[in-house]
Amino acid sequence: MKLCSPLLLCLVVALSSAYVITHHHHHHHDSMWTKLILTHHWPNTFCSMEHCKPNISYWTLHGLWPDKGMDCNSSWHFNSSQIEDLLPDMKRSWPDLLKPTSTEFWKYEWHKHGTCAAKADSLNSQHKYFSKALELYHKVDLDRVLRKFNITPSESYYKLSQIEDAIEKSYSIKPKIQCAFGSRRDEVQILGQIELCFDTEFTLLDCERPFPDDTTSKGYGNDVMDVDRSGFSVCQHDMPVYYPPLAKES
């Protein structure tokens, strides 16, 4: 039997290219994200830039950001009653450091990033989005990982590579680590934000791993565009890193 006639082969090739073309078109039309960035910040450093009073000594959530899109659906309003059951964990893990009793930070993150993340069925409700962010936040445990490698908030300085190694050895992926730069700009940098990246199946992957679509997307600049809430830049290898402890109550 000759199943593979040239005609059949042509048909298969034609059909699969048609699929590729429509699929590709659909993909761009939706501008579906391919990567999620789970961003943690160190409250003490954040507060030194934003003039809040830090009273938290663990890494807290800043956000869960898809690599494409911002403010994807302005008519999808944040409604905290839809995440009522998550609120105790939200307050602990994703606190608004500027206004501890308000829901403004979550509302802001939902509108800017959540409505875009919601293009995936797995995140297409406020409850799914916020509970997934909390789940991923608890799955990785930066405080424990850093402590395990003797990196603790203290007056001693660390090398950036020590912090990178701790995370790479624990999770086998490369994080993106951001610092604040004080007035002593060329002497020390202050550990501020750590990003870990996930694929659409919520599996950890290198943050810097290039995706084919990255060239057509401005999305990866999310952290840069979040400059209103954080003025961090990527930490430098040739400078010591300060991991600031909370000031003792006087």
Ligand X SMILES: *[C@@H]1O[C@H](CO)[C@@H](O)[C@H](O)[C@H]1NC(C)=O
Q: Which residues are catalytic?
A: 62, 109, 113
Query: Cα separation of 65 and 226, whole Å?
Result: 11
Closest distance of CB 190 from ligand X, Å: 21
Instruction: Find how far residue 68's CA is from the centre of its chain.
Output: 12
Q: 248: number of CA atoms within 13 Å, CB side?
A: 3
Query: Cα separation of 221 and 97, whole Å?
Result: 23
Enumerate residues 6+ apart whose C-beta is below 8 A from 181: 189, 190, 233
Query: Cα separation of 69 and 218, whole Å?
Result: 8
Closest distance of CB 201 from ligand X, Å: 22
Closest distance of CB 91 from ligand X, Å: 7
> Of 86 and 197, which has the nearer Cβ to ligand X?
86
Q: What is the largest CA-CA distance in the chain?
A: 88
Residue 167 in tokens: 């995370």
Q: Residue 121 in contact with residue 33, Cβ under 8 Å?
A: no
Closest distance of CB 178 from ligand X, Å: 23
Binding site for ligand X (CB under 6 A): 55-56, 73, 75-76, 79, 81-82, 100
> Of 101 and 215, which has the nearer Cβ to ligand X?
101
> Of 31 and 170, which has the nearer Cβ to ligand X?
31
Q: Residue 240 in contact with residue 158, Cβ under 8 Å?
A: yes
> Of 6 and 88, which has the nearer Cβ to ligand X?
88
Closest distance of CB 76 from ligand X, Å: 4
> Of 75 and 250, which has the nearer Cβ to ligand X?
75
- Return the bridge partners of 124, or none: none
91: left (phi > 0), else alpha (psi -120 to 50), else beta? alpha
